[in-house]
Amino acid sequence: MSHSASSEVIEALLRVEDLVKILNVSPSCIRELARKGELKAVKFTSDWRFKPSAVKEFIDGKEYNGYQAHKNRLAG
């Protein structure tokens, strides 16, 4: 059974250099996040690659909710 191109959607992978521009952080920071597993990535030889959806998931998980942080401080 063959798969048609329309049934498989493959995201274009981003490089460390792309994330440096998107997130405005250093290449070493991006690599460390990948090594720690905080930012989902795949490694090809010595190069890290990132799915745009994984980057969005990482960013969404880092969103600051000022109200919730304030509420947590009051409760703690």
Residue 17 included in any domain: yes
Buried b (16+ CB within 10 A) or exposed e, 13-49: bbebebbeeebeeeeeebbebbeeeebebeeeeeebb
pLDDT of residue 5: 47
How far apart (Å, rounded) are the C-alpha atoms in residues 66 and 59?
16
What domain range is 27 assigned to?
13-75
* 10-residue stretch averages of pLDDT, the chain, 76 residues long: 52 94 94 95 93 92 64 61
Residue 2 included in any domain: no
pLDDT of residue 61: 85
Full-model pTM: 0.69
pLDDT of residue 48: 96
How many domains, in total, are found in the chain? 1
Q: Please check whether residue 14 is in contact with residue 55, taking contact to mean a CB–CB distance below 8 angstroms.
A: yes
Residue 1 included in any domain: no
Q: Please check whether residue 34 is in contact with residue 41, taking contact to mean a CB–CB distance below 8 angstroms.
A: yes
